[in-house]
């Protein structure tokens, strides 16, 4: 019974309780909403994956971040390549033959570089497709983390740019010029990463492990490398694979004259750098890069991106653009140039396209 004979009506009690609940709601609703939001951001949804690092909301990736990780991956892979070579523990073996019948070599340097590069990129951008020259053994998985730092030169030259993750394909070459690597011709060896968006190469990284030089560029972004000031279009210096020098020399000299110089070299990365202004003591200079047979896309994608970023060209021998989706091979050979009339070069060398199918 209520004191002093006062009777409490059920309606009054209900109103009193509702007022009390209203006061409590206003006092704590903000706090509870904030804790709920924190919980949702901190914990992955039940049964769902955690939001990947390097990815923005909506399944997008920032190309500036991807460039930073690509540079780091090329350098880390290069450390493995250099360590194996200097320790002379190559364990070289044949992994197959090229279409021309030459043995393709596989070394410990290829495998360790590939593992380091692949898992660094995959850990930072798990939603992005990654194609590599070497097979990735999931039983030999390695945890390689990225600290989200972006080098100052990239910060200064490149603005953030997001693209859908499903539009991106990353091509890794963990050791370019493996044959020359086994012969201890170190100047030709590179590690490379390329990023293609909708099949077009937009980021290229070429790293030389034995001199610690790295060239990078992003289309419509910036670069840390530039083209040379002059090129010889009348009698160009043409850089080619060591095994292809004889095939190219006769046609090139018939076209450009006997003063044309043919430069045999190893590694697609090295050959692209030969077209650029590279401060390297052992780097040769050339005006045109030609390859007359089938070549894998991880060999050429990074160089293609760098040339595109600097206003240059890399096409098949018939002038077709090379798409970096689908199969991992390019059937039509290639011709690469910068600050030259690329179309005119193609028209001058019509017989090389026939050579590419031999």
**133 among annotated binding-site residues:** yes
Q: Let me know if 169 is a catalytic residue.
A: no
Q: Terminus-to-terminus CA distance in the chain, angstroms?
A: 108
Query: Do 173 and 191 contact (CB within 8 A), yes or no?
Result: yes
What is the C-alpha separation between 92 and 182, in angstroms, rounded? 7
**142 among annotated binding-site residues:** no
What is the C-alpha separation between 243 and 217, in angstroms, rounded? 29
What is the C-alpha separation between 303 and 347, in angstroms, rounded? 22
Q: Let me know if 110 is a catalytic residue.
A: yes
Active-site option among 62, 107, 108, 110: 110
Active-site option among 178, 190, 214, 315: 178
Query: Do 97 and 121 contact (CB within 8 A), yes or no?
Result: no
- CB environment 60-84: b (16+ within 10 A), e (fewer): bbbbbbbbbbbbbbbbbbbbbbbeb
**62 among annotated binding-site residues:** no
Q: Provide Rg for the chain, Cα atoms.
A: 29
**176 among annotated binding-site residues:** yes
Q: What residues are annotated to the active site?
A: 110, 178
Residues annotated within a binding site for Mg(2+):
133, 173, 175-176, 299
Residues annotated within a binding site:
133, 173, 175-176, 299
């Amino acid at each position: 019974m209520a004191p002093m004979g006062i009777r409490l009506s059920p309606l009054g009690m209900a109103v009193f309780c509702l007022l009390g609940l209203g006061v409590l709601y206003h006092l704590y609703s903000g706090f509870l909403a904030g804790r709920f939001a924190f919980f949702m951001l901190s914990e992955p949804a039940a049964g769902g994956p955690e939001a990947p690092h390097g990815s923005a909301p909506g399944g997008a990736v920032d190309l500036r971040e991807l460039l930073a990780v690509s540079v780091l991956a090329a350098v880390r892979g290069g450390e493995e390549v250099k360590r194996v070579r200097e320790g002379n523990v190559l364990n070289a073996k044949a992994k197959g033959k090229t279409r021309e019948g030459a043995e393709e070599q596989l070394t410990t340097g290829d495998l360790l570089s590939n593992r380091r590069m692949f898992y660094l990129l995959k850990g930072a951008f798990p939603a992005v497709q990654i194609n590599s020259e070497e097979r990735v053994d999931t039983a030999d998985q390695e945890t390689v983390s990225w600290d989200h730092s972006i080098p100052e030169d990239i910060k200064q030259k490149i603005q953030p740019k997001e693209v859908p993750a499903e539009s991106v394909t990353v091509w890794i070459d963990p050791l370019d010029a493996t044959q020359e690597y086994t012969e201890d011709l170190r100047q030709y060896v590179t590690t490379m990463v390329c990023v293609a968006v909708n099949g077009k190469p937009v980021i290229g990284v070429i790293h030389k492990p034995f001199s610690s030089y790295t060239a990078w560029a992003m289309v419509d972004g910036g670069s840390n490398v530039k083209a040379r000031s002059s090129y010889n279009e009348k009698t160009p210096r043409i850089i080619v694979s060591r095994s292809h020098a004889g095939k190219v020399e006769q046609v090139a000299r018939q076209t450009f004259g006997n003063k044309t110089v043919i430069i045999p070299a190893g590694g697609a990365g090295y050959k692209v750098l030969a077209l650029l202004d590279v401060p390297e003591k052992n780097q040769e200079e050339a005006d045109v890069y030609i390859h007359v047979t089938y070549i894998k896309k991880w060999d050429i994608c990074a160089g293609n991106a760098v040339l595109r970023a600097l206003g240059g060209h890399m096409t098949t021998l018939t002038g077709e653009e090379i798409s970096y989706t689908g199969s991992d091979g390019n059937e039509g050979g290639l011709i690469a140039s910068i600050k030259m009339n690329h179309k005119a070069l193609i028209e001058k060398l019509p017989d090389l396209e026939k050579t590419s199918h031999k």
